[in-house]
Structure 1
């Protein structure tokens, strides 16, 4: 589905759709005049997908950078990521924090509008009932996707399940996390029933939501809920739903559509998109006008590295070094390290000895017309991640597999990485977490893994003590598992919200 980000609706939606709760969502007039044909509905649904465009950049800025994977204190002026990495209390106006709130709610508002139009006019306009169901399934999956992204960052949220006016939006308080989860699960249950399996899509539509993507997301929802509550009204509810999660993962495995590739780098090869690892990805298309390519490849890469190859600045600015603690966790033969991490470079006779994540960069594919136009999709859910998540469920007491199966999965992952020594036996939760860290470096999972496992406070405190040689990071408190609600929301709706603890 390489064309999914070409938006016939882009001007109408961007001009009339919320970026925060202070503005009017998509106007009734625009909707009434637009949703008249099947193609109108297709373009309207594509507009919902387009709200995912910044998702991978967000993961790198708010999860990867927040975690113990990067020691990303600034060495060249104040950078937006520094407050994220260093646990500053005053980040309620931070660019990345505001973007996470606004972009996800933009997607939710678009999904709500689309679903309303589908309910009122879909049967008349779209004769094929299967197409209507699939479209509803896609929109519900995306709405759940946006809400899940929000709940992991912010905890309690305003629950908005239909188009609302600006005045009404200002009266909707934040709902309890449990209520948000109930809404997400309802959407995903419907999506699972309505969506086709991935193999039923034509190549051009492989990026659309599919039944297995919805099951993967639902399984991750159950796992996240099962994490400790940490007394912050965050994403963990200590719900012990590991068994529910493993049921979803087993269904995906039984579908027999996915498998581990034999080569680690082949997963991310620009010429191998939609490979057997990919359960769901966010699609980008380079060379379009307006530009709808990817930007995430350079987010963690310093501009001077691109300049050392003769390219212009890409937007990565200064280096966000890989933590020494993580570098030490790789052995010399681990191909994941050499593929994912650049260990120093020289530019203009200046030697940089620190390492950075280059996982998504193919230096032969650097766009020359626009740094915002990289020709690569972002894999949101991949099969190896699923297998490791399933193993985590087993180690947390879920039935359906054994600890022997856990050992087999972890050893298969390590073998692919080139670690051919003695096989591990009796893999522990701590060992599994570290294997995920090495396998999924740069994919934005680490911060959420620490929170879900209940190890975030101990890990970050000890890591800061060892890694913060510059003394630039604030002391970590458990409240920082959440980000602050953007100050702009308080300015818009005084007295409606309370700020998250710690800010």
Structure 2
């Protein structure tokens, strides 16, 4: 079976302003002469997918590390993730915060370039034309959704702008950003096919568009916290449920009974997977880094994984470890409680091994061949349960059924009368290491109290500051603030 690989170098498309990505959001002249036929547009759309290569890494640092799942403090305190974990107020100069902003706008620029140039004369086959447009619109919406959840207000670029033009476009209100996201996803649902052949695995489908559309409605429905963040208190839970129920009732997906098999390198396109990022190992630029990101340097060294990451582990929180019930099979599958180093000394530092298979190590720590699941069927079940508990139309039986399916797969007994707190705890254990927890807490209005209570109990090294509502979103990178005085205002609460 041929695997569709997203990591494609588009040397023909000269992104000549790449060195200026830290100065303006994204814009440059389009490559008008490049687009001559369908094959050129296929290559260009593949280039949009390639922007997703580091998405799992950024999600780990900006959401998993931010959550109560990890106590991610390095010995020296100088790693880029340290201030993210600590709720530091000077994150505007943080490299991870800046790189995520730049990468998302790179993807948006690439999508806009395709959409600006795509026409029926160059792509005469109607189905292909619609599919290419649907892919570009889906991916543009996906990058904007990440931006609005991460930074709140951002500039809206619905076409390719020149660098000079970008200097006149301010950050748009969150509601306006969502207008573009919803329009793109709604159109993508109608344009994209429901499935592909084996030569195009990994491309987005109409089901993937429905899944993200439902997630957008769910996120918009969350509380505002008095900030210009991702929640609009829009009460669109039933709109979210329309998407989730359609996927559950009519989609080709299913609940996989064997939890470990979901993340098996030999079972990547299992029935759980609705949308993932494709990777293959075999060399620089085609493999994934994310499986080794949580893993301590010593563990990689002792297992002969080259190019170790020079890190101690991003330690799994004691509170998370203690939340597993005794019979929960996911505990040992997802977390290793420590390791023996090259000198035989045991290091009792717990870390995620959910995506790690040492037998499948590539050339170095950047070269794992496991696909990254952005949305899986269990996401849909649990988001449906969340929408019902937050006020959408549904029954307690549906909520209980979703959580008990997860519990049964984990080797646990059924429970009844599940409320929001129980659902969030069930999701925390099910998606540990999958960068879901932070967004779940934000959507449900529970993030500030949960995190501050956790900091009080867990921060044994006194590395962390208490968080407030302003830190639900990150600051605009300082390089964007300084490019033109007065164009962007910094998010409240940050230096």
TM range (shorter): over 0.9
CA shift, 1:21, in A, is 5.2
Shift of 1:410: 0.7
Say which of 194, 213, 225 aligns to 1:197: 194
Query: Which residue, out of 453, 458, 463, partners 1:467?
Result: 458
Given that 1:303 and 1:312 are in contact with CA atoms closer than 8 Å, whether structure 2 keeps it comes out as no
Secondary structure of the corresponding residue to residue 230 of structure 1:
coil
Task: State the match for 1:230 in structure 2.
Answer: 225
The Cα of 1:317 is off from its aligned counterpart by 1.4
Q: What residue is the counterpart of 1:310 in the other structure?
A: 304
TM-score (norm 2): 0.96
* Corresponding residue number in structure 1 for 2:403: 410
1:168 equivalent among 162, 165, 168: 165
Gaps of 5+ in 1: none
State whether structure 2 residue 21 is matched by structure 1 residue 19. yes
Q: Which residue of 2 aligns with 1:35?
A: 35
Displacement, 1:259?
Answer: 0.5
Quickly say closer, same or farther: Cα 1:186–1:256, change in 2 above 3 A. Answer: closer
Q: Distance in 1 between matches of 2:422 and 2:135?
A: 36
Secondary structure (helix, strand or coil) at the match of 1:332 reads coil
Match of 1:220 among 212, 215, 224: 215
CA pair 270-13 structure 1, distance change in 2 beyond 3 A: farther
Tell me if structure 1 keeps the 8 A contact 2:57–2:289: yes
User: CA contact under 8 A between 2:244 and 2:384: conserved in structure 1?
Assistant: yes
Alignment gaps of 5+ in structure 2? none
Residue of structure 2 in register with 1:448 after alignment: 439
TM-score, normalised on structure 1? Answer: 0.95
Q: Match for residue 352 of structure 1?
A: 347
Task: Please provide the CA RMSD for this pair.
Answer: 1.5
Deviation of 1:311 (Å): 2.9
Per the TM alignment, residue 230 of structure 1 is displaced from its structure 2 partner at its CA by 0.3
Q: What are the within-5 Å matches in structure 2 for residues 30-429 of structure 1?
A: 31-118=31-118, 122-198=119-195, 201-287=196-282, 291-315=285-309, 317-347=311-341, 348-367=343-362, 369-399=363-393, 401-419=394-412, 421=413, 423-429=414-420
Cα distance in 2 for partners of 1:89, 1:25 equals 29
2:258 touches 2:409 (CA, 8 Å); kept in 1? yes
Return 33-42 or 19-28, whichever deviates more: 19-28
Match for residue 477 of structure 1 among 468, 476, 493: 468
Aligned to 1:148, the other structure's residue is in SS state: helix
Deviations 1:283-315 (A, max 9, x none): 112225x52211111111111111222333432
**Contact 1:158–1:172 at 8 Å: present in 2 too?**
yes
Partner of 2:492: 501
SS at match of 2:332: helix
Instruction: Give the count of matched residue pairs.
Output: 491
Instruction: Report the counterpart of residue 439 of structure 1 in structure 2.
Output: 430
